[in-house]
Amino acid sequence: MQYLANDDPEVARIIQGEEARMENTLDLIAAENHAPRSIFEAQGSIFSTKAAEGYPGRRFHAGCRYADELERLAIHRAEKLFGAGHANLQPHSGVSANLAVYFSVLAAGDRILAMKLSHGGHLSHGDPASVTSQCFYFRHYGLDLQTERIDYEAVRAMAEAFKPRMIIAGASSYPRLIDYPLMADIAQSVSAYLLVDMAHIAGLVAAGVVPSPVPHADFVTFTTYKTLKGGRGGVILCKRAHAAKISKTIFPGAQGTPSLNLLAAKAVCLKLAMGSGFKQEQRKILANAAAFAAGFENKGYRIVSGGTDNHLVLVDLRAKGLTGDVAEKTLEAVGIVVNRNVIPGDPEKPDVASGIRIGSPGVTARGMGEVEVAQIVALMDSAMINRGKGDVLDSVSREVADLCRRFPIYRD
């Protein structure tokens, strides 16, 4: 970072601090991953300053020869990797992608049925705190509190009574697979569009280790920085019939010039996701998540829904007399980064929460396997149970630091 260190030593120092923090902590945030350095080279490239309103061959700025080549390549890769009729890679984020889908085929005030935030959904699916709730009329389905899985019959009954124009499937903290053919059947039976927001699991879908929503949904949105292991940014896939409406809603409807540097990074992560190494790593993400669930269960914690089918595990801490916020702070102090999370039917408020959400992508990217996961579970349990005991916490911190040294994120 020689130019940055020269122009702005203060920001350079902060970035170096963040790099060291990441190297020296275990990242168990389910929404995060460690992208390869090629992603950062693409994101930090000269494309950062190119204006290119419009689409390849139809730009409102001159000088777009390479911008067009780049965007065409990215679109081609996304359509091929996911078997989609059409892809738009311009959304700045996952939330922007969702907003564009809503506005592409719905009018303000139209009805949308989506999963409740407190049961695993996402803010942008019509939570009262999100602007989406001011633009559209949302109702929310939840989980069956016995099985902690989606209650599809309840979804069907709500759809029949509410008559939404769109149904959203997809979540941020749901450890189970979603039955896309069944959701598509429910949507069709009430003439609603089906949007699947696969932000968290796009990498698992790309690798074919979990079922793909693409054949069943009108629209699929995702972000590239979670399991897909790229940089930040959103993508929309849709049936060809919806392509023109999606294009128009993103530009000129909701965005100006696309971030071509981020688009370049999206193209890179899509290429890497086509390789055999990626598929293997996504399989390991599943195995490591299962190992986290089994490990915590063996230590007497309750696992929401009894296990996991994807990259994340929701741990109910109540049996241990702990809340999510205390666990999060205790673990961060020993170098393990997780986030507190409400569990279905949680009596605590979201900023306290009764659970933690654990994701396996970060440690899997470092090359760790089930042996290391078992060790991490033991360290987490020890830290949480012995919170306040300085000597135990010091020894846990040392073991965490040792694991980080043995499994570096970046070897150069």
Ligand X SMILES: *Cc1c(COP(=O)(O)O)cnc(C)c1O
What is the contact surface with ligand X in residues (CB under 6 A)? 31, 93-95, 122, 124, 170-172, 197, 199-200, 223, 234
Tell me the closest approach of the beta carbon of residue 373 to ligand X, in angstroms. 23
Task: Give 233 or 335: the residue with its C-beta nearer to ligand X.
Answer: 233
How far apart (Å, rounded) are the C-alpha atoms in residues 390 and 400? Answer: 15
For residue 169, what is the enclosing H or E element? strand 166-169
- Residue 84's identity, in one-letter code, is A
- Closest contact distance (angstroms) between CB of 61 and ligand X is 25
CB 45 within 8 A of CB 262: no
Nearer to ligand X, 55 or 174 (CB): 174
What angle separates helix 390-406 from helix 370-385, to the nearest 10 degrees? 160
Residue nearest to ligand X (CB): 94
- Nearest approach in angstroms of CB 312 to ligand X is 10
CB of 276 to ligand X, least distance (A): 27
Instruction: Using the minimum distance from each CB to ligand X, give the nearer residue, 54 or 170.
Output: 170
Contact 352, 325 (CB under 8 A): yes
Look up residue 145 and give its two tokens.
């509190």
Neighbours of 67 (CB within 10 A): 22
Which residue, 93 or 257, is less far from ligand X as judged by CB? 93
User: At closest approach, how far in Å is the CB of 367 from ligand X?
Assistant: 25
Closest CB 195 distance from ligand X, rounded Å:
11
Which residue number, 97 or 294, has a Cβ lying nearer to ligand X?
97
Q: Least distance to ligand X from the beta carbon of 404, Å?
A: 25
> Residues 105, 136: contact at Cβ < 8 Å?
no
CA 12 → CA 4, 9, 16, 149, 262, distances in Å? 6, 5, 6, 46, 21
Q: Which residue's CB is nearer to ligand X, number 31 or number 356?
A: 31
Q: Give the Cα separation of 376 and 371 in Å (integer).
A: 9
What span, in angstroms and rounded, lies between the C-alpha atoms of 82 and 64? 27
Please, which residue, 99 or 343, has the CB nearer to ligand X?
99
Token pair for residue 389? 């005991």
